[in-house]
């Protein structure tokens, strides 16, 4: 973890780096797989590796969501590290079903088990043959080594696994639209459900962490909160008349599999962050579900437009640096462009060739002096900011060290956010989420104006 003291030694001079990552703008695949599994009701995530790996995955999610994260581990020792983790996983399956009574155990692999080469489908098959999996209970898996991809690709792998193991096609279409949620907050998933209900479009949402990682404090421990997508609904996704994947990196693989496996037509959209991306989402649902857009949604859009218009003088021409996940950065950059701001620097740690072309579609080609690192790290971003600053930095918690060092207004956005609360409870998606995001941007920009204003220009009303 970088410290502010270490960051003060960041040099502006750019030296080519190929084999070294400094302060990566991502975390590991198993964290994403664990988060996706928590979005299914009565599902117990299982980390197939060392106890330390599982502890890290759980703590990363707990620190972000401020909620206890239930997960199990194969607890590799030296023996398992040499001879493989089959016996550990078989014992774990028996123990977990008997003690914790999950409906589903969702196994994700780690660096260690992938390096050894454990064959998880074979182990699951052996567990079935030996009667270790009770009737009506299931074990699924996703391969998620940490030495490739990021938390976003791990999330994608686990969402795809749920479709692979459970989605079924009977040949009889029902009237529900399947929505594959990208990596967003529980509050965002709740907002997606609210908007779909307002539109009058019956749906199935997978995964759904609302009601799980934003559950109320009741004084009673619940191993499995009431939230999460039900298994029966995942099965029904195979008979949906269409599917929408929100975020190509996090949902593209699952949407494609649903199409090829069950012939459910897929539609891959950006996450509905900001005005234009939300417009596209609403319009696509309207067309697929053959519904009208109610006045309530139109008024929400109008309120966002009103705020954008009223505050345009404070956003016009401002430069912005962004760091985060590609599915979130693309529509966010588009929204900032709609606000007449200039996205000058952008960094994501998640690899993928499709990101830069999509970014060009949304905000145009990079201009001289701009930097778009995909993939890149926060050190590369900091170096650019050393050379030429920016009016605003939007990133996860780790961005605050750069913002502090360079004295840049800072908005926390993405994963992880370790030093603030509210991201689990107030959405960023949809028109309402756009208003919240714009309010946070305006707050830090106007705070900076007031901080730097001489006494004779310090106004009560701006």
The residue-averaged pLDDT of 349-373 equals: 96
| Per-residue pLDDT, 81 | 79
Q: Percent of the chain scored above 90 by pLDDT?
A: 91
Q: Which residue has the higher pLDDT, 215 or 392?
A: 392
pLDDT at 83: 78
Measured in Å, how far apart are the chain's first and last C-alpha atoms? 39
**Average confidence (pLDDT) over 364-371:** 95
Which tens digits make up the pLDDT trace of 36-49? 999 999 999 999 99
Are 359 and 346 in contact, with CB atoms under 8 Å apart? yes
Phi, psi (degrees; rounded to nearest 5) at 178: -90, 125
Q: What is the pLDDT of residues 11-35, one digit of tens each?
A: 888 888 888 889 999 999 999 999 9
Structure pTM? 0.95
Q: What's domain 177-299's superfamily in CATH?
A: Nitrogenase molybdenum iron protein domain (3.40.50.1980)
**Whole-number pLDDT of residue 1:** 44
CATH number corresponding to 4-8+311-455: 3.40.50.1980
- When the pLDDT of each residue in the chain is averaged and rounded to a whole number, the result is 95
Contact 47, 53 (CB under 8 A): yes
| 318-328 pLDDT tens trace | 999 999 999 99
| Predicted local distance difference test score (pLDDT) of residue 17 | 85
At 11 the pLDDT is: 81
Q: What mean pLDDT comes out for the span 211-230?
A: 94
Is the predicted pLDDT of residue 79 greater than 90, yes or no?
no
Q: What is the C-alpha to C-alpha distance for residues 441 and 432, in angstroms, rounded to an integer? A: 14
**Mean pLDDT value across residues 163-176:** 96
Q: What confidence tier does 6 reach under pLDDT thresholds 50, 70, 90?
A: low
Where b means 16+ CB within 10 Å and e means fewer, 405-423 reads bbebbbbbbbbbbeeeeeb
pLDDT average, residue stretch 109-119? 94
**What is the pLDDT, as a whole number, of residue 456?**
86
Helix axes 120-129, 86-99, angle to 10 degrees: 50
Q: pLDDT (tens digit, 9 = 90+) per residue, 182-208?
A: 999 999 999 999 999 999 999 999 999
| The CATH fold of domain 29-166 | Rossmann fold (3.40.50)
What average pLDDT does range 116-128 have in this prediction? 96
Which is it for strands 319-324 and 342-348: parallel, antiparallel or unpaired?
Answer: parallel
Per-residue pLDDT, 2: 46
pLDDT confidence band for 150 (50 / 70 / 90): very high
* Per-residue model confidence (pLDDT) at position 5: 52
Q: What percent of the chain has pLDDT over 70?
A: 98
pLDDT at position 153, please?
98
**Residue 433: predicted pLDDT:** 98
Asked if pLDDT for residue 7 goes beyond 70, the answer is no
Question: In this model, does residue 307 exceed pLDDT 70?
Answer: yes
pLDDT in tens, 242-300: 999 999 999 999 999 999 999 999 999 999 999 999 999 999 999 999 999 999 999 99
Question: How many Å apart are CA 261 and CA 263, to the nearest integer?
Answer: 6
CATH 3.40.50.1980 domain position(s) in the chain = 4-8+311-455, 29-166, 177-299
Q: Which residues does residue 346 pair with via DSSP β-bridges, in sequence order?
A: 322, 372
Q: Which of 184, 145, 167 is nearest to 234 (CA)?
A: 167
């Amino acid at each position: 973890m970088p410290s502010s003291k270490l960051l003060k030694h960041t040099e502006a001079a750019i030296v080519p780096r190929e084999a070294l990552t400094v302060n990566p703008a991502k975390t590991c695949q198993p964290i994403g797989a664990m988060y996706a599994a928590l979005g299914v009701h009565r599902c117990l995530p299982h980390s197939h590796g060392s106890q330390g790996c599982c502890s890290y995955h759980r703590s990363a999610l707990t620190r972000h969501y401020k909620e206890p994260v239930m997960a199990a581990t194969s607890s590799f020792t030296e023996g398992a590290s040499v001879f493989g983790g089959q016996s550990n996983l078989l014992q774990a399956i028996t123990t977990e079903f008997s003690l914790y009574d999950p409906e589903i155990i969702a196994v994700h692999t780690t660096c260690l088990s992938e390096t050894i080469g454990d064959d998880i489908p074979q182990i699951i098959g052996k567990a079935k043959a030996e009667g270790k999996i009770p009737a009506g209970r299931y074990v699924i898996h996703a391969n998620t080594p940490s030495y490739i991809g990021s938390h976003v690709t791990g999330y994608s792998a686990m969402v795809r696994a749920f479709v692979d193991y459970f989605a079924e096609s009977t040949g009889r279409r029902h009237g529900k639209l399947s929505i594959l949620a990208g990596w967003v907050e529980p509050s965002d998933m709740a907002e997606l459900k609210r908007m779909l209900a307002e539109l009058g479009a019956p749906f199935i949402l997978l995964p759904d962490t609302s009601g799980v990682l934003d559950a109320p404090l009741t004084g009673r421990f619940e191993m499995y909160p009431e939230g999460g997508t039900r298994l029966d609904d995942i099965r029904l996704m195979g008979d949906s008349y269409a599917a929408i994947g929100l975020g190509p990196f996090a949902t593209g693989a699952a949407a494609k599999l649903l199409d090829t496996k069950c012939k459910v037509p897929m539609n891959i959209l950006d996450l509905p962050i900001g005005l234009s991306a939300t417009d596209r989402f609403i319009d696509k649902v309207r067309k697929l579900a053959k519904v009208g857009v109610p006045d309530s949604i139109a008024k929400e859009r109008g309120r966002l437009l009103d705020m954008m218009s009223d505050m345009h003088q404070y956003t016009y021409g401002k430069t912005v640096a962004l760091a985060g996940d590609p599915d979130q950065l693309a529509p966010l950059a588009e929204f900032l462009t709609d606000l007449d701001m200039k996205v000058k620097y952008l960094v994501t740690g998640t690899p993928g060739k499709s990101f830069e072309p999509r970014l060009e579609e949304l905000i145009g080609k990079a201009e001289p002096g701009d930097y778009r690192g995909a993939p890149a790290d926060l050190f590369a971003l900091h170096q650019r900011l050393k050379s030429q600053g920016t009016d605003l930095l939007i990133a996860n918690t780790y961005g605050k060290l750069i913002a502090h060092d360079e004295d840049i207004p800072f908005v926390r956005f993405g994963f992880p956010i370790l030093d603030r609360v509210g991201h689990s409870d107030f959405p960023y998606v949809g028109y309402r989420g756009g208003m919240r995001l714009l309010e946070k941007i305006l707050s830090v920009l106007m705070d900076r104006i007031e901080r730097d204003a001489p006494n004779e220009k310090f106004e009560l009303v701006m």
